[in-house]
Homo-oligomer: A and B are copies of this chain.
Amino acid sequence: MIKRSILPFLLVSIVWCCTPSDQSANASLDPLPSWNEGATKSAILDYVHEVTKGGSASFIPISERIATFDNDGNLWSEQPMYFQLYFAIDQVKAMADEHPEWRTMQPFKAVLDNDIDALLKSGEHGLLQIVMATHAGSTTEEFEQIVKDWMATSNHPRFNKKFNDLVYQPMLELLNYLRANDFKTFIVSGGGIEFMRPWSAEVYGIPTSQVVGSSIKTKFDYNNGKPRIKRLAELDFIDDKAGKPIGIHKHIGKKPVFASGNSDGDLQMLQWTDSNKYKSFQLYLHHTDADREWAYDRESHIGRLDKGLDEAIEKGWTVINMKNDWNTIYPFQLK
Protein backbone atom coordinates (compact mmCIF):
# COMPACT_ATOMS: atom_id res chain seq x y z
CA MET A 1 0.00 0.00 0.00
CA ILE A 2 1.49 3.32 -1.06
CA LYS A 3 0.94 6.21 1.32
CA ARG A 4 -0.92 9.14 -0.18
CA SER A 5 1.78 11.55 0.95
CA ILE A 6 4.48 10.05 -1.26
CA LEU A 7 2.32 9.93 -4.37
CA PRO A 8 3.58 13.26 -5.74
CA PHE A 9 7.15 11.93 -5.66
CA LEU A 10 6.12 8.79 -7.46
CA LEU A 11 4.40 10.80 -10.15
CA VAL A 12 7.57 12.84 -10.62
CA SER A 13 9.42 9.55 -10.97
CA ILE A 14 7.04 8.47 -13.68
CA VAL A 15 7.84 11.50 -15.75
CA TRP A 16 11.54 11.18 -15.07
CA CYS A 17 11.63 7.48 -15.85
CA CYS A 18 9.41 7.28 -18.81
CA THR A 19 10.00 10.21 -21.09
CA PRO A 20 9.97 8.72 -24.58
CA SER A 21 13.51 8.52 -25.91
CA ASP A 22 12.26 9.57 -29.34
CA GLN A 23 11.79 13.26 -28.73
CA SER A 24 10.42 13.78 -32.22
CA ALA A 25 7.23 12.20 -30.90
CA ASN A 26 6.73 15.55 -29.26
CA ALA A 27 6.14 17.99 -32.10
CA SER A 28 7.19 20.94 -29.96
CA LEU A 29 10.73 19.57 -29.60
CA ASP A 30 12.79 19.69 -32.79
CA PRO A 31 15.63 17.16 -32.45
CA LEU A 32 17.56 18.86 -35.28
CA PRO A 33 17.20 22.62 -34.65
CA SER A 34 20.36 23.55 -36.61
CA TRP A 35 19.00 21.89 -39.73
CA ASN A 36 16.77 24.07 -41.92
CA GLU A 37 13.39 22.66 -42.87
CA GLY A 38 13.57 20.99 -46.28
CA ALA A 39 14.13 17.74 -48.13
CA THR A 40 17.39 16.79 -46.36
CA LYS A 41 16.07 17.21 -42.83
CA SER A 42 12.78 15.51 -43.74
CA ALA A 43 14.59 12.57 -45.29
CA ILE A 44 16.51 11.98 -42.04
CA LEU A 45 13.47 12.35 -39.77
CA ASP A 46 11.30 10.19 -42.02
CA TYR A 47 13.89 7.44 -42.20
CA VAL A 48 14.46 7.27 -38.45
CA HIS A 49 10.74 7.34 -37.79
CA GLU A 50 10.05 4.62 -40.35
CA VAL A 51 12.71 2.15 -39.18
CA THR A 52 12.09 2.58 -35.43
CA LYS A 53 8.28 2.58 -35.32
CA GLY A 54 6.87 -0.68 -33.96
CA GLY A 55 4.91 -2.55 -36.61
CA SER A 56 6.62 -0.75 -39.50
CA ALA A 57 7.45 -2.98 -42.47
CA SER A 58 10.94 -1.41 -42.40
CA PHE A 59 11.44 -1.85 -38.64
CA ILE A 60 15.10 -2.46 -37.68
CA PRO A 61 15.84 -4.34 -34.44
CA ILE A 62 17.88 -2.28 -31.97
CA SER A 63 20.88 -4.62 -32.22
CA GLU A 64 21.14 -3.81 -35.95
CA ARG A 65 20.91 -0.02 -35.62
CA ILE A 66 24.56 0.70 -36.43
CA ALA A 67 25.42 4.21 -37.66
CA THR A 68 28.91 5.09 -38.93
CA PHE A 69 30.30 8.59 -39.44
CA ASP A 70 33.43 9.72 -41.20
CA ASN A 71 35.23 12.38 -39.14
CA ASP A 72 37.36 14.78 -41.27
CA GLY A 73 35.09 17.11 -43.23
CA ASN A 74 32.07 15.26 -41.91
CA LEU A 75 31.93 15.72 -38.12
CA TRP A 76 34.50 18.53 -38.03
CA SER A 77 36.18 20.71 -40.66
CA GLU A 78 39.21 19.57 -42.65
CA GLN A 79 40.43 22.83 -44.24
CA PRO A 80 42.81 24.32 -45.17
CA MET A 81 44.30 20.91 -44.31
CA TYR A 82 43.51 17.93 -42.12
CA PHE A 83 43.69 19.01 -38.48
CA GLN A 84 45.86 16.01 -37.66
CA LEU A 85 48.50 17.51 -39.98
CA TYR A 86 48.60 20.65 -37.83
CA PHE A 87 49.21 18.35 -34.88
CA ALA A 88 51.99 16.50 -36.70
CA ILE A 89 53.63 19.77 -37.78
CA ASP A 90 53.57 21.11 -34.24
CA GLN A 91 55.10 17.85 -33.02
CA VAL A 92 57.91 18.06 -35.60
CA LYS A 93 58.70 21.55 -34.33
CA ALA A 94 58.56 20.44 -30.70
CA MET A 95 60.88 17.51 -31.42
CA ALA A 96 63.29 19.38 -33.74
CA ASP A 97 65.99 19.99 -31.13
CA GLU A 98 66.40 16.25 -30.68
CA HIS A 99 66.67 15.83 -34.47
CA PRO A 100 69.24 18.28 -35.90
CA GLU A 101 69.28 16.20 -39.11
CA TRP A 102 65.71 17.40 -39.87
CA ARG A 103 67.02 20.90 -40.69
CA THR A 104 68.26 19.58 -44.06
CA MET A 105 66.09 16.50 -44.55
CA GLN A 106 62.78 16.62 -46.46
CA PRO A 107 59.92 16.61 -45.69
CA PHE A 108 60.99 17.74 -42.19
CA LYS A 109 62.85 20.77 -43.58
CA ALA A 110 59.63 21.95 -45.24
CA VAL A 111 57.82 21.77 -41.90
CA LEU A 112 60.55 23.66 -40.04
CA ASP A 113 60.61 26.29 -42.83
CA ASN A 114 56.79 26.62 -42.57
CA ASP A 115 56.65 25.70 -46.25
CA ILE A 116 53.29 23.91 -46.29
CA ASP A 117 53.19 23.77 -50.11
CA ALA A 118 56.47 21.85 -50.17
CA LEU A 119 55.18 19.58 -47.41
CA LEU A 120 51.96 18.77 -49.28
CA LYS A 121 54.02 18.22 -52.46
CA SER A 122 56.00 15.51 -50.63
CA GLY A 123 52.87 13.46 -51.17
CA GLU A 124 51.61 10.48 -49.26
CA HIS A 125 55.09 9.14 -48.64
CA GLY A 126 56.28 12.43 -47.16
CA LEU A 127 53.22 12.83 -44.95
CA LEU A 128 53.61 9.26 -43.77
CA GLN A 129 57.21 10.03 -42.76
CA ILE A 130 55.98 12.98 -40.72
CA VAL A 131 53.28 10.93 -39.06
CA MET A 132 55.62 8.05 -38.20
CA ALA A 133 58.26 10.39 -36.78
CA THR A 134 55.74 12.18 -34.57
CA HIS A 135 53.15 9.52 -33.71
CA ALA A 136 55.47 6.61 -32.83
CA GLY A 137 58.09 6.10 -30.12
CA SER A 138 55.88 7.05 -27.20
CA THR A 139 53.76 4.79 -25.03
CA THR A 140 50.01 4.83 -25.60
CA GLU A 141 49.47 6.72 -22.34
CA GLU A 142 52.07 9.34 -23.24
CA PHE A 143 50.59 9.81 -26.70
CA GLU A 144 47.10 10.25 -25.30
CA GLN A 145 48.39 13.04 -23.06
CA ILE A 146 50.29 14.69 -25.95
CA VAL A 147 47.07 14.79 -28.00
CA LYS A 148 45.04 16.15 -25.07
CA ASP A 149 47.59 18.87 -24.35
CA TRP A 150 47.83 19.89 -27.99
CA MET A 151 44.05 19.97 -28.40
CA ALA A 152 43.68 22.14 -25.29
CA THR A 153 46.30 24.68 -26.35
CA SER A 154 46.31 24.94 -30.18
CA ASN A 155 44.08 27.10 -32.31
CA HIS A 156 42.85 26.90 -35.86
CA PRO A 157 44.41 29.74 -37.94
CA ARG A 158 41.15 30.98 -39.50
CA PHE A 159 38.76 30.91 -36.58
CA ASN A 160 41.22 31.23 -33.70
CA LYS A 161 39.28 28.50 -31.94
CA LYS A 162 40.44 25.15 -30.61
CA PHE A 163 40.41 22.58 -33.38
CA ASN A 164 37.70 20.52 -31.74
CA ASP A 165 35.54 23.63 -31.38
CA LEU A 166 35.19 23.25 -35.17
CA VAL A 167 32.83 20.29 -34.97
CA TYR A 168 29.54 20.66 -36.79
CA GLN A 169 26.60 21.52 -34.54
CA PRO A 170 24.07 19.88 -36.93
CA MET A 171 26.05 16.65 -36.80
CA LEU A 172 26.18 16.70 -32.99
CA GLU A 173 22.38 16.99 -33.07
CA LEU A 174 22.15 14.13 -35.56
CA LEU A 175 24.37 11.89 -33.40
CA ASN A 176 22.19 12.63 -30.37
CA TYR A 177 19.00 12.09 -32.32
CA LEU A 178 20.17 8.70 -33.61
CA ARG A 179 21.28 7.62 -30.13
CA ALA A 180 17.94 8.72 -28.67
CA ASN A 181 16.42 6.29 -31.17
CA ASP A 182 18.69 3.46 -30.04
CA PHE A 183 21.23 3.66 -32.85
CA LYS A 184 24.80 2.90 -31.80
CA THR A 185 27.02 5.62 -33.28
CA PHE A 186 30.56 4.93 -34.49
CA ILE A 187 33.30 7.07 -36.01
CA VAL A 188 34.94 5.40 -39.02
CA SER A 189 37.74 7.71 -40.12
CA GLY A 190 40.91 7.65 -42.19
CA GLY A 191 42.42 9.71 -39.36
CA GLY A 192 44.50 8.20 -36.59
CA ILE A 193 42.44 6.18 -34.12
CA GLU A 194 44.59 7.41 -31.22
CA PHE A 195 44.33 11.00 -32.38
CA MET A 196 40.51 10.89 -32.05
CA ARG A 197 39.95 8.71 -28.99
CA PRO A 198 41.29 11.13 -26.34
CA TRP A 199 38.41 13.56 -26.98
CA SER A 200 35.69 11.59 -28.87
CA ALA A 201 33.61 10.86 -25.75
CA GLU A 202 33.62 14.43 -24.49
CA VAL A 203 32.98 16.09 -27.86
CA TYR A 204 30.87 13.57 -29.78
CA GLY A 205 29.53 11.35 -26.99
CA ILE A 206 31.25 8.41 -28.71
CA PRO A 207 33.32 6.15 -26.42
CA THR A 208 36.80 4.99 -27.42
CA SER A 209 35.55 1.49 -28.26
CA GLN A 210 33.30 3.00 -30.95
CA VAL A 211 36.07 4.87 -32.74
CA VAL A 212 37.55 3.13 -35.80
CA GLY A 213 40.53 4.71 -37.54
CA SER A 214 43.95 4.24 -39.07
CA SER A 215 46.59 2.83 -36.75
CA ILE A 216 50.24 2.01 -36.29
CA LYS A 217 51.45 -1.22 -34.69
CA THR A 218 52.04 -1.45 -30.96
CA LYS A 219 53.98 -3.75 -28.66
CA PHE A 220 53.30 -4.86 -25.10
CA ASP A 221 56.24 -4.37 -22.74
CA TYR A 222 56.05 -5.95 -19.25
CA ASN A 223 58.60 -3.40 -18.04
CA ASN A 224 59.32 -5.11 -14.71
CA GLY A 225 55.74 -5.06 -13.52
CA LYS A 226 54.87 -1.60 -14.81
CA PRO A 227 53.46 -2.70 -18.17
CA ARG A 228 53.10 -0.30 -21.04
CA ILE A 229 52.20 -0.42 -24.72
CA LYS A 230 54.73 1.13 -27.05
CA ARG A 231 53.84 2.74 -30.37
CA LEU A 232 55.93 1.42 -33.27
CA ALA A 233 56.89 3.23 -36.49
CA GLU A 234 55.05 0.67 -38.60
CA LEU A 235 51.65 0.99 -40.24
CA ASP A 236 49.00 -1.39 -38.94
CA PHE A 237 45.83 -0.42 -40.81
CA ILE A 238 44.65 2.31 -43.18
CA ASP A 239 40.98 2.95 -42.54
CA ASP A 240 40.17 4.64 -45.82
CA LYS A 241 38.34 3.79 -49.08
CA ALA A 242 38.05 -0.03 -49.30
CA GLY A 243 39.63 -0.10 -45.83
CA LYS A 244 36.48 1.39 -44.29
CA PRO A 245 34.22 -1.65 -44.77
CA ILE A 246 37.15 -3.77 -43.55
CA GLY A 247 37.57 -1.58 -40.46
CA ILE A 248 33.82 -1.70 -39.85
CA HIS A 249 33.80 -5.47 -40.08
CA LYS A 250 36.87 -5.78 -37.85
CA HIS A 251 35.67 -3.46 -35.08
CA ILE A 252 31.88 -3.58 -35.28
CA GLY A 253 31.19 -6.97 -36.86
CA LYS A 254 27.91 -5.82 -38.39
CA LYS A 255 26.95 -3.96 -41.55
CA PRO A 256 25.73 -0.42 -40.73
CA VAL A 257 22.22 0.73 -41.66
CA PHE A 258 23.20 4.42 -41.59
CA ALA A 259 26.42 5.88 -42.99
CA SER A 260 27.56 9.47 -43.32
CA GLY A 261 30.56 10.74 -45.29
CA ASN A 262 31.84 13.51 -47.51
CA SER A 263 34.57 12.21 -49.82
CA ASP A 264 35.79 9.45 -52.08
CA GLY A 265 37.37 7.92 -48.98
CA ASP A 266 33.85 7.20 -47.72
CA LEU A 267 32.46 5.74 -50.93
CA GLN A 268 32.98 2.06 -50.10
CA MET A 269 31.51 2.56 -46.61
CA LEU A 270 28.41 4.06 -48.22
CA GLN A 271 28.22 1.26 -50.81
CA TRP A 272 28.61 -1.36 -48.08
CA THR A 273 25.83 0.23 -46.01
CA ASP A 274 23.64 0.55 -49.10
CA SER A 275 23.76 -3.25 -49.49
CA ASN A 276 22.19 -3.86 -46.06
CA LYS A 277 19.13 -6.11 -46.12
CA TYR A 278 17.48 -3.60 -43.80
CA LYS A 279 16.37 -0.23 -45.15
CA SER A 280 19.50 1.88 -45.04
CA PHE A 281 20.40 5.57 -45.23
CA GLN A 282 23.36 7.20 -46.96
CA LEU A 283 24.22 10.79 -46.14
CA TYR A 284 26.77 12.76 -48.17
CA LEU A 285 27.96 16.18 -47.01
CA HIS A 286 28.65 18.65 -49.83
CA HIS A 287 30.77 21.61 -48.69
CA THR A 288 29.10 24.61 -50.32
CA ASP A 289 29.58 27.40 -47.81
CA ALA A 290 32.72 29.47 -48.43
CA ASP A 291 31.55 32.21 -46.07
CA ARG A 292 30.80 30.20 -42.97
CA GLU A 293 33.04 27.17 -43.64
CA TRP A 294 34.62 26.22 -46.99
CA ALA A 295 33.31 25.48 -50.47
CA TYR A 296 34.96 22.61 -52.30
CA ASP A 297 33.89 19.49 -54.05
CA ARG A 298 35.72 18.05 -56.99
CA GLU A 299 39.17 19.48 -56.18
CA SER A 300 40.71 19.87 -52.75
CA HIS A 301 44.02 19.56 -50.93
CA ILE A 302 42.86 16.07 -50.12
CA GLY A 303 42.58 15.08 -53.78
CA ARG A 304 39.74 14.68 -56.22
CA LEU A 305 36.34 14.04 -54.66
CA ASP A 306 34.25 13.45 -57.76
CA LYS A 307 33.44 9.76 -57.42
CA GLY A 308 31.68 9.97 -54.07
CA LEU A 309 29.58 13.00 -54.96
CA ASP A 310 28.71 11.65 -58.41
CA GLU A 311 27.68 8.29 -57.03
CA ALA A 312 25.69 9.92 -54.24
CA ILE A 313 23.71 11.90 -56.81
CA GLU A 314 23.37 8.95 -59.18
CA LYS A 315 22.12 6.60 -56.47
CA GLY A 316 19.77 9.10 -54.87
CA TRP A 317 21.62 9.20 -51.56
CA THR A 318 20.79 12.19 -49.36
CA VAL A 319 23.19 15.03 -50.15
CA ILE A 320 23.58 17.80 -47.59
CA ASN A 321 24.03 21.22 -49.14
CA MET A 322 25.81 22.83 -46.21
CA LYS A 323 24.93 26.39 -47.19
CA ASN A 324 21.23 25.70 -47.60
CA ASP A 325 20.62 22.90 -45.11
CA TRP A 326 22.46 24.14 -42.02
CA ASN A 327 21.50 27.33 -40.16
CA THR A 328 24.42 26.97 -37.76
CA ILE A 329 27.82 25.44 -38.49
CA TYR A 330 29.75 25.39 -35.20
CA PRO A 331 28.53 25.14 -31.58
CA PHE A 332 30.24 28.44 -30.64
CA GLN A 333 27.94 30.23 -33.10
CA LEU A 334 24.81 29.17 -31.22
CA LYS A 335 23.00 32.13 -29.75
- A interface vs B, CB < 8 Å? 2, 10-11, 13-14, 17-18, 63, 140, 184, 186, 193-194, 197, 201, 207-211, 215, 218-220, 222, 225-227, 229, 236, 242-243, 245-246, 249-254, 268, 271-272, 275
Contacts and interface: CB of A to CB of B under 8 A. Distances in A.
A272 B220 contact: yes
Contacts of A215: 250
Nearest to A223: B275
A90 B229 CA distance: 38
A220 B268 contact: yes
A169 to B, nearest CB: 23
A246 B219 contact: yes
Given A17-B14, A268-B227, A197 B275 contact: no
A218 B13 CA distance: 50
Contacts of A225: 271
30 contacts: A2-B11, A13-B14, A14-B14, A63-B201, A140-B249, A184-B209, A186-B209, A193-B250, A193-B253, A194-B253, A197-B253, A207-B253, A208-B253, A209-B210, A209-B254, A211-B253, A215-B250, A218-B246, A219-B242, A219-B246, A220-B242, A220-B245, A220-B268, A227-B245, A227-B268, A227-B271, A227-B272, A227-B275, A229-B249, A236-B250
Given A13-B17, A14-B10, A220 B207 contact: no
Contacts of A246: 218-220, 229
Contacts of A250: 193, 215, 218, 236
Contact of A245 (B194, B197, B229): B229
A82 to B, nearest CB: 21
Nearest to A245: B220
A222 B268 contact: yes
A148 to B, nearest CB: 14
A254 B243 CA distance: 23
Nearest to A236: B250
A252 B208 contact: yes
Nearest to A202: B63
Given A227-B271, A227-B272, A249 B218 contact: yes
Contacts of A222: 268, 271
Nearest to A267: B222
A26 to B, nearest CB: 18
Nearest to A275: B227
Contacts of A10: 10-11, 14
A261 to B, nearest CB: 15
A219 B140 CA distance: 28
Contacts of A275: 226-227
A269 to B, nearest CB: 10
Contacts of A253: 193-194, 197, 207-209, 211
